[in-house]
């Protein structure tokens, strides 16, 4: 992929290369700017993971597989020094929606010739991704509501709020109290690729139309691809986690009405993670499914359980408040449609188009020709009586009927023999008489 030079001061944006890893490794929290200290710390952890797994991810990116674009990183370079970095990845299997994983700027490497770093360098990195990732119809980003610098950056580049996300923590003593409840889930089934259609329908019903359009999930998003499953297995081995997933099947409707995916920490160094999805008409499942997850976590180290709720799930938030779960973090999910990309890449494509140019293909190329001629019965009778043919008299007991237009316009050239002159009966007619 060729490098591009943005407008303004000399700033080259290009893909990340192996020689850049040494520079990225030595970036510290004092040098890095990701909007606020919390985002900077998370970005440093992701950069450390990126440097560790760059080799295997680079090899996978050279092969035609679903995870070939998991390593999409661009760096901004000024006067031979790296001043910024951005990592993006596809959000769904169809790659119609992409997400910005993280963006960071090295403020120490910036010179006086460049404007204030995070807003200017971050905007150039974002717009470079908008231009290069041509598959993306929608972009999404999730950022903390207190990260004002990041919110200003994304709003400046066309991102609009989509949903508010709240992350909840269920302490270990709360999980212990939930295990005392016997969950009423008679139709709890394990998840396999054969259930992808059911999970897709549940996902479609559990979110509003705008969020569903942005996420653009398809059936293949709920199937475990071989290479993606291998990559996820390596990640679980590195983090010492175990995944358990199941869904609730409703026999009468032949549909899935609830689903959970539990990432269990086996070493107790990090909290357990839960992904929960419930049909809006079956919100009574929240106590049952949380009790089931609490029972699954009993044999493992006592750690808190962390899960998320969005602002269009009021029943979930109400139940979590009822059991005194702790809200730990509030973030904002933002999206950007491809319409901004069209206007920025071709600013005069639509505004400069005249109406006459649009409708030029609709102008007739010649005078229209009628497809058929329709005359009345009296007109046909007058034409037939005035021609070289004998007058046609109507039969007794019937009125004069106009001949068929196709028959009246069909003329055959007289043959040399066996033809009768006008007014003389044909030979067959005389014989039959």
The reported pLDDT for the residue numbered 116 is 60
Which residues neighbour 63 within 8 Å (Cβ) at sequence distance 6 or greater?
none
DSSP sequence for 352-409: T--HHHHSGGGS-SS----S-----HHHHHHHHHHSSSPPPPPPTTS---PPPHHHHT
Q: What is the dihedral of CA 20, 21, 26, 31, to 10 degrees?
A: 50
10-23 pLDDT tens trace: 788 999 888 888 88
Question: What is the structure's pLDDT at 195?
Answer: 94
CB 226 within 8 Å of CB 64: no
Domains detected in the chain: 1-157 (3.40.630.30), 162-335 (3.40.630.30)
User: Does the pTM exceed 0.85?
Assistant: no
Q: Can you state the percent helix, strand and coil of the chain, rounding each to 5?
A: 35, 25, 40
Residue length of the chain: 433
- Please check the confidence at residue 63 and state whether its pLDDT lies above 90: no
Angstrom distance (rounded) from CA 128 to CA 124:
6
Reported as a pLDDT band with limits 50, 70 and 90, residue 125 is: very high
More confident residue, 386 or 38: 38
What integer pLDDT is reported at residue 407 of this predicted model?
47
Q: Determine what percent of the chain is predicted with pLDDT higher than 70.
A: 70
**What pLDDT does residue 325 have?**
95
Predicted local confidence at residue 197, as pLDDT? 95
Say yes or no to pLDDT of 108 above 90: no
CA distance 346 to 352: 10
Give the mean pLDDT of 94-107. 90
Tell whether the model's pLDDT for residue 408 goes beyond 50.
no
Banded pLDDT at 55 (limits 50, 70, 90): confident
Nearest-5° Cα angle at 84, 81 to 87? 130
Residue 322 has pLDDT above 50, yes or no: yes
Which pLDDT band holds residue 3 (cuts at 50, 70, 90)?
very low
Let me know: does 85 contact 54? Beta carbons within 8 Å. no
**What's the pLDDT band for 71 if we cut at 50, 70, 90?**
confident
- Considering only 77-86, 317-326, 352-361, which range has the smallest mean pLDDT? 352-361
Q: Which residue has the higher pLDDT, 369 or 138?
A: 138
Q: What is the mean pLDDT of residues 411-429?
A: 46
Q: How far apart are CA 125 and CA 10, in angstroms?
A: 14
The b/e string for 218-250 (b: 16+ C-beta within 10 A; e otherwise) is: eeebbbebeeeeebeeeeeeeeebeeeebbbbe
């Amino acid at each position: 992929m060729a490098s591009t030079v943005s407008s303004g001061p000399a700033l080259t944006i290009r893909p990340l290369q192996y020689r850049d890893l040494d520079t990225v490794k030595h970036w510290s929290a004092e040098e890095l700017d990701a909007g606020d200290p919390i985002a900077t710390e998370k970005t440093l952890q992701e950069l450390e993971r990126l440097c560790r797994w760059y080799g295997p991810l680079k090899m996978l990116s050279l092969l035609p597989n679903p995870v070939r674009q998991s390593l999409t990183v661009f760096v901004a370079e000024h006067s031979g020094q790296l001043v910024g970095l951005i990592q993006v990845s596809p959000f769904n299997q169809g790659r119609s929606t992409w997400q910005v994983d993280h963006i960071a700027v090295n403020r120490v490497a910036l010179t006086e010739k460049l404007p204030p770093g995070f807003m200017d360098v971050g905007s150039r990195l974002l717009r470079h991704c908008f231009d290069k990732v041509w598959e993306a119809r929608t972009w999404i980003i999730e950022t903390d509501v207190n990260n004002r610098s990041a919110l200003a950056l994304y709003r400046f580049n066309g991102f609009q709020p989509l949903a508010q996300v709240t992350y909840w923590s269920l302490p270990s003593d709360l999980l212990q109290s939930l295990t005392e409840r016997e969950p009423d889930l008679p139709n709890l089934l394990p998840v396999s690729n054969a259930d992808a259609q059911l999970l897709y329908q549940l996902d479609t019903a559990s979110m509003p139309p705008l969020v569903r359009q942005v996420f653009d999930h398809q059936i293949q998003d709920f199937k475990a691809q071989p290479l993606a499953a291998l990559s996820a297995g390596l990640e679980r081995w590195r983090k010492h986690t175990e995944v358990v997933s199941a869904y609730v099947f409703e026999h009468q409707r032949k549909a899935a009405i609830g689903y959970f995916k539990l990432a269990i920490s086996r070493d107790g160094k990090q909290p357990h993670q839960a992904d929960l999805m419930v049909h809006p008409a079956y919100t009574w499942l929240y106590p049952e499914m949380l009790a089931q997850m609490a029972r699954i976590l009993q044999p493992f180290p006592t750690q808190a359980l962390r899960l998320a709720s969005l602002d269009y799930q009021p029943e979930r938030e109400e139940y979590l408040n009822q059991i005194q779960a702790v809200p730990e973090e509030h973030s904002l999910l933002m999206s950007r449609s491809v319409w901004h990309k069209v206007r920025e890449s071709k600013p005069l494509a639509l505004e400069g188009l005249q109406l006459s140019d649009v409708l030029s293909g609709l102008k007739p190329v010649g005078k229209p020709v009628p497809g058929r001629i329709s005359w009345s019965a009296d007109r046909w009778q007058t034409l037939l009586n005035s021609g070289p043919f004998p007058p046609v008299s109507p039969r007794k007991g019937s009125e004069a009927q106009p001949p068929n237009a196709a028959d009246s316009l069909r003329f055959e050239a007289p043959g040399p023999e066996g033809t009768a002159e006008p007014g003389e009966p044909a030979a067959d007619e005389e014989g039959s008489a």
